[in-house]
Amino acid sequence: MVERIVDTFNRVLPRALDEGVFVLGPDFGEDIRAQLRDICRRHQMQAHFTVQPVAEGTAHAVYCAGDHLKGEGIVVFADTLFEMDPGVDLEGADVVMWVKTVEDPRRFGVAVREGERVVALVEKPAEPISHEALIGIYYVRELAVLRRYIQQLIEEDVRGHGGEFQLTDAFDRMLKDGLVFKTATVNAWLDCGTIEALMDTTRYLLHKERDTLRLGTVENSVIHEPVYVGPGARVVDAVVGPNVSIEAGAEVRRSVVRDSILFAHARVEGAVLADALIGQYAEVRGHPQRLNIGDHSTVQ
């Protein structure tokens, strides 16, 4: 998800990203940091890491980036994917908020515009005052300014939904103080925040990118497209698909697998799987199952 986010912004923004500041939870290990460093290395970016020790809201998470909050930047949460057209206009705005037009705005925070300029932010409006739902992606011309407004919230203990410090509250203060807010649109907004949403998004991407899916090895097997076989992955004596993602180094042998995701270096042998999520280096052997297992697990 992070690599797709970086790819998208490097494709559509007028300037390429040169740094990645990752705010992690306290339980994220070195393996995650190594993967994020690799992403930054591939995109000529410098990687930085900070930790949010306690989950106290979106504004607090951003605030944990500390001294890295300076200059222009993009604030984005890594549980969503999106598609947008190149040529995003960042000029003349202190903040650009990406939005998606929705039929029922009552479930979302929305941006209310007069012309190109945002004049109000409304959380879950009872009346359809705007159909432009905020999707949690923001360009900020000067991150140090955002940091000051978040610091105000924390010092004054101004908590929003869930008793947490909310990023939209900081933006609302900036807006009321006269900073210029504009919107940009996305063509697709793909949630990855739950297992069900991740599965749905994977199906969408498999169908959209079906011409670029075969990078690994398939031997004596039947493939019901779309199926992604990542670099170094192997499918041997198996029936796979539709809607299966087999990530780098994973292996499927003598099995039937559909509507599933096998993360890097997972191994499935002698099994029948559907609607399964198999973590990195996890192993599944035998018996028809519907599974969601984490990294380095074994089921047999």
Indicate which CATH number applies to the domain containing 47.
Answer: 3.90.550.10
pLDDT at residue number 192:
83
Whether residues 81 and 205 fall in one domain: no
Do 206 and 223 meet the contact criterion of CB atoms below 8 Å apart?
no
Gap between the Cα atoms of 183 and 181, Å rounded? 7
Whether residues 97 and 182 fall in one domain: yes
Please report which confidence band the pLDDT of residue 288 belongs to, taking 50, 70 and 90 as the band edges: low
Lowest-pLDDT range of 7-11, 212-216, 272-276: 212-216
Please report which confidence band the pLDDT of residue 152 belongs to, taking 50, 70 and 90 as the band edges: very high
Res 287 pLDDT > 80? no
HEC secondary structure over 74-109? EEECCCEEEECCCCCCCCCCCEEEEEEECCCHHHCE
Residue of higher predicted confidence among 72 and 190: 72
Q: Which of 193, 208, 233 is the last residue of a domain?
A: 193
Gap between the Cα atoms of 1 and 252, Å rounded? 23
HEC secondary structure over 29-57? CHHHHHHHHHHHHHCCCEEEEEECCCCCC
Gap between the Cα atoms of 21 and 68, Å rounded? 7
Whole-number average pLDDT of the chain: 91
Identity of the residue numbered 236:
V
Whether residues 24 and 89 fall in one domain: yes
Crossing angle of the two packed helices 30-42 and 2-12, in degrees rounded to 10:
20
Whether residues 206 and 153 fall in one domain: no
Q: What percent of the chain has pLDDT over 90?
A: 64
Whether residues 75 and 210 fall in one domain: no
Q: Which of 166, 193, 220 is the last residue of a domain?
A: 193
Whether residues 24 and 9 fall in one domain: yes
Which residues form the domain of 100?
2-193
Domain count for the chain: 2
Whether residues 92 and 203 fall in one domain: no
Neighbours of 89 (CB within 10 A): 11
Only one residue has tokens 């994977």, namely 202
Q: Which of 146, 168, 193 is the last residue of a domain?
A: 193
pLDDT at residue number 52:
96
Output the CA–CA distances (angstroms, integers) from residue 26 to 32, 40, 94, 157, in the order listed. 12, 21, 32, 23
Return the closest-CA partner of residue 23 out of 80, 64, 73: 64
Whether residues 167 and 232 fall in one domain: no
- How far apart are the two ends of the chain, measured CA to CA in Å? 30
Whether residues 151 and 227 fall in one domain: no
Whether residues 208 and 151 fall in one domain: no
Whether residues 14 and 154 fall in one domain: yes
pLDDT in tens, 63-91: 999 999 999 999 998 888 889 988 888 99
pTM of the model: 0.83
Whether residues 110 and 213 fall in one domain: no
Q: 210-213: list long-range contacts, CB under 8 Å, 24+ apart.
A: none
State the CATH number of the domain containing residue 233: 2.160.10.10
Gap between the Cα atoms of 211 and 256, Å rounded? 23
